[in-house]
């Protein structure tokens, strides 16, 4: 078994090699499309095959064969001025788990100054797209998460100005991706070290959005007029006022619970996406509130009615982040906070009729600040990051978070406790006597939940990965749902390349065969029809050998068409149960999995085509998203081939 942090460094050479193999597969523009539309090449080969099964060839996937359990801990070391410290030796850091000394098996120093160049993407022909992202195999990746779900619009505008300042002075070679979060996760800019691309994303994609789940979506700071306040001012009975206060508090709690679940779902999806990249990732989370804990409200008749237990969801999220080797740096986007009761936006009239309300508001504000800062610190401690609050220098906080997360030491150990009972295990890293005298500060994740993936209800709940699923992502149902949503991160568990070309330069009035339009958003002619040709790397699928010697798997290909608002317009695809003799499987390894179909889109207007391959056995995904504006000007696809013979021979590699 392996703890999550170890998986990606071990597999990073494989992903680079796999990408090279994928681009070496037959070029889609040179394939002879001799198969009918909406047909998997390997499925047709299976049905036509009559040969005797032979010995199964060993796939070119990396196989990690060991029963050892490994845990990885990234430790950032800083001096009394907050500057990173380099040059420490293995003996300078002493690691214990549950107060038991552990033998460090691997020790490695990482420096922000060591920024290897990323692998070069091969030139892609017109109409060709891939989900492969070229990032350095041995460098730190950084993610800026803009949380519009929990942040008022005023603070979003302030954050945008601060990030504009940061990208202008970001250190060269810093690889950054930008995500947005509302009720789900959006990819705004993929990983890049190009400052112009980052600047363009910040200036044109970080559009302030109001969150309907916030009490003050704009961020005016003015007190909202509640029914309980109106009832109290009008002299209503005390019991009526108390009941109204209870109702309002419970409604607010429901809104907060929605924000908690949307937030955790977004973090889970992001962890799944980042798990496919090697090495450490720093997640800088900019938010106007951090609603991961709900405390009793002493101001209402039933204080405990607003409590929601999120411990299991929080544990699952932190374990997912651990598996993906992600450290979270929460940053309070509101800057330095002041008492709302002192704001000029408040008239203060309620304090005239109810003098006790002033002290109650101060206490409520102080408790809210304490809870949110505690949540920020808890998330940072659980993942090895650091929280930033009560500062207006968000640009400087971003720079410090990236610097701290890019200079660190990696310690790997095999736990001496072999009982995986789901309990929390604390990790402590201490300095040797010589290093302690320098007054250094250590930042690292403080523990993990020792859940065995073999016994967990859901594999993604475990921070430890068994040998059988060492290279596979978790199987959360939410991940399967979000993977094909418009604007979401494009999973790359399965590496694919896709060619999309218009069938003709003229619109037509006939919907492509196999297309299913959304009845709520029906497409109307004229249409523009596209030929879609896909090839995927066979080694990324979980093919298994059956008792009869054949090799099988269940694979789903989906094509979703969306409008600019994210509404689903049209769907195509196929699910196939594969069963191949070994000699035909060898051909599949050489040629890759190929799929050909056609999809109709509106003849006018921008739409987005999201193409995905899903291995149902391992829950791995490969997805690309393509704006049709990038392909509508391309030349038409080759003419459709004649129908195949009744018993066609499989194409040669």
- Mean pLDDT in residue range 542-567: 92
The confidence score (pLDDT) of residue 260 equals: 85
Q: Distance between the two ends of the chain, CA-based, in angstroms?
A: 37
**Partners of 284 in beta bridges:** 144, 329
DSSP state, 519? T
Tens of pLDDT along 275-285? 888 889 999 99
The confidence score (pLDDT) of residue 256 equals: 81
pLDDT band at 626, cuts 50/70/90? very high
Check residues 339 and 156 and name the one with the higher pLDDT: 156
Distance CA 311, CA 264 (A): 11
Q: What is the helix (H) or strand (E) element at residue 160, kind and residue range?
A: helix 153-169
* Phi, psi for residue 55 in degrees, rounded to 5: -65, 135
Structure tokens at 604: 């006018």
Task: Report whether pLDDT(125) > 60.
Answer: yes
Query: For residues 601 and 628, is the Cβ–Cβ distance under 8 A?
Result: yes
Task: Report whether pLDDT(613) > 80.
Answer: yes
Helices (H), 170-296: 195-205, 227-233, 238-274
Tens of pLDDT along 170-179? 888 899 999 9
Task: Report whether pLDDT(468) > 90.
Answer: no
pLDDT band at 587, cuts 50/70/90? confident
Check residues 25 and 396 and name the one with the higher pLDDT: 396
Tens of pLDDT along 183-241? 889 999 999 988 999 999 999 999 888 888 887 888 776 556 666 666 666 777 877 76
Task: Report whether pLDDT(429) > 90.
Answer: yes
Structural domains in the chain, CATH included, are: 21-63+474-630 (2.60.40.2550), 71-111+407-469 (no CATH), 141-188+208-293+304-405 (3.40.50)
Task: List the single range of 55-64, 261-270, 397-406, 508-517 with lowest mean pLDDT.
Answer: 55-64
Check residues 331 and 224 and name the one with the higher pLDDT: 331
Distance CA 105, CA 101 (A): 13
The confidence score (pLDDT) of residue 478 equals: 58
Task: Report whether pLDDT(167) > 70.
Answer: yes
The reported pTM is 0.75
The confidence score (pLDDT) of residue 230 equals: 66
Query: For residues 73 and 3, is the Cβ–Cβ distance under 8 A?
Result: no
Task: Report whether pLDDT(272) > 70.
Answer: yes
**What's the chain's average pLDDT?**
77
Tens of pLDDT along 44-64? 343 333 333 333 334 443 333
Distance CA 405, CA 283 (A): 9
DSSP state, 508? B
Tens of pLDDT along 80-117? 888 999 999 999 999 999 999 999 999 999 988 776 66
Query: For residues 372 and 253, is the Cβ–Cβ distance under 8 A?
Result: no
The confidence score (pLDDT) of residue 250 equals: 65
Structure tokens at 441: 């500060």
Task: Report whether pLDDT(305) > 50.
Answer: no
- β-pairing, 527-536 vs 593-602, is antiparallel
* Phi, psi for residue 64 in degrees, rounded to 5: -105, 110
Q: Which residues of 25-42 are buried (b: 16+ CB within 10 A; e: fewer)?
A: beebeebebbbebbbbbb
Task: Report whether pLDDT(297) > 50.
Answer: no
pLDDT band at 617, cuts 50/70/90? confident
**Partners of 574 in beta bridges:** 557
* Phi, psi for residue 18 in degrees, rounded to 5: -65, -40
The confidence score (pLDDT) of residue 439 equals: 86
The confidence score (pLDDT) of residue 55 equals: 37
The confidence score (pLDDT) of residue 64 equals: 32
The confidence score (pLDDT) of residue 321 equals: 87
Task: Report whether pLDDT(474) > 50.
Answer: no
DSSP letter string, 386-437: --B-S-S-HHHHHHHHHHHHHSEEEEEE--S-----S-EEEEEEEE-HHHHT
Query: Using CA of residue 540, residue 322, residue 374, residue 158, what is the dihedral sign?
Result: negative
- Mean pLDDT in residue range 441-470: 60
The confidence score (pLDDT) of residue 516 equals: 94
Distance CA 290, CA 288 (A): 7
Task: Report whether pLDDT(512) > 70.
Answer: yes
């Amino acid at each position: 078994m392996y703890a999550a942090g170890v998986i990606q460094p071990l597999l990073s050479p494989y992903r680079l090699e796999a990408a090279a193999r994928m681009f070496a597969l037959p070029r889609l523009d040179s394939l002879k499309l001799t198969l009918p539309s909406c047909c998997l090449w390997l499925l047709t080969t299976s049905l036509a095959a009559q040969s005797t099964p032979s010995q199964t060839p060993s796939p070119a996937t990396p196989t990690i064969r060991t029963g050892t359990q490994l845990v990885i801990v990234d430790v950032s070391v800083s001096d009394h001025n907050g500057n990173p410290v380099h040059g420490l030796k293995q003996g300078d850091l002493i690691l214990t788990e549950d107060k038991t000394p552990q033998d460090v098996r691997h020790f490695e120093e990482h420096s922000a100054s060591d920024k290897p160049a990323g692998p070069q993407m091969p030139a892609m022909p017109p109409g060709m797209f891939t989900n492969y992202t070229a990032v350095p195999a041995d460098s730190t990746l950084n993610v800026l998460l803009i949380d519009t779900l929990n942040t008022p619009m005023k603070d979003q505008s302030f954050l945008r100005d601060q990030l504009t300042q940061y990208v202008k002075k970001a250190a060269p070679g810093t690889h950054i991706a930008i995500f947005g979060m509302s009720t789900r996760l959006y990819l705004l800019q993929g990983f890049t070290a190009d400052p112009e691309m980052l600047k363009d994303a910040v200036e044109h994609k970080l559009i302030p959005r109001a969150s309907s789940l916030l009490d003050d979506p704009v961020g005016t700071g003015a007190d909202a007029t509640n029914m309980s306040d109106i009832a109290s001012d009008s002299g209503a009975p005390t019991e009526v006022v108390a009941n109204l206060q209870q109702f309002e508090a419970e409604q607010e709690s429901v809104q907060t619970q929605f924000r908690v679940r949307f937030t955790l779902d977004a973090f889970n999806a992001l962890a799944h996406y980042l798990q496919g990249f090697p090495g450490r990732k720093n997640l800088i989370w900019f938010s106007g509130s951090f609603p991961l804990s709900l405390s009793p409200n002493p101001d209402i008749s039933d204080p405990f009615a607003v409590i929601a237990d999120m411990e299991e969801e929080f544990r699952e999220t932190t374990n997912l982040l651990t598996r993906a080797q992600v450290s979270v740096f929460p940053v309070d986007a509101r800057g330095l906070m002041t008492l709302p009761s002192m704001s000029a936006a408040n008239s203060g009239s309620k304090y005239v009729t109810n003098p006790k309300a002033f002290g109650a508001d101060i206490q409520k504000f102080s408790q809210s600040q304490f809870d949110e800062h505690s949540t920020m610190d808890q998330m940072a401690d659980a993942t090895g990051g650091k929280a930033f609050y009560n500062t207006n220098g968000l640009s400087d906080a971003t720079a410090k978070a990236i610097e701290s997360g890019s200079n660190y030491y990696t310690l790997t150990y095999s736990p001496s406790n072999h009982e995986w009972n789901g309990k929390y295990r604390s990790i402590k890293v201490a300095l040797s006597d010589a290093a302690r005298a320098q007054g250094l500060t250590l930042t690292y994740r403080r523990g993990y939940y020792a859940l065995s993936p073999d016994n967990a209800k859901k594999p993604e709940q475990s921070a430890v990965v068994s040998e059988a699923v060492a290279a596979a992502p978790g199987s959360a149902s939410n991940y399967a749902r979000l993977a094909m949503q418009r604007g979401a991160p494009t999973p790359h568990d399965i590496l694919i390349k896709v060619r999309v070309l218009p069938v003709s330069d003229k619109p037509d009035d006939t919907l492509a065969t196999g297309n299913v339009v959304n009845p709520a958003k029906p497409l109307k002619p004229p249409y523009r029809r596209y030929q879609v040709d896909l090839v995927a790397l066979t080694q990324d699928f979980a093919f298994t050998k059956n008792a009869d010697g054949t090799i099988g798997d269940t694979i789903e290909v989906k094509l979703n068409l969306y409008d600019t608002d994210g509404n689903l317009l049209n769907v195509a695809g196929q699910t196939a149960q594969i069963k191949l003799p070994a000699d035909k499987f060898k051909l599949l390894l050489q040629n890759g999995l190929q799929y050909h179909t056609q999809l109709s889109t509106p003849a006018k207007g921008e739409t987005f085509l999201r193409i995905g391959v899903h291995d149902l056995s391992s829950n791995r995904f490969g997805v690309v998203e393509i704006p049709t504006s990038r392909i509508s000007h391309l030349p038409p696809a080759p003419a459709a081939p004649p129908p195949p013979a009744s018993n066609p021979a499989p194409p040669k590699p």
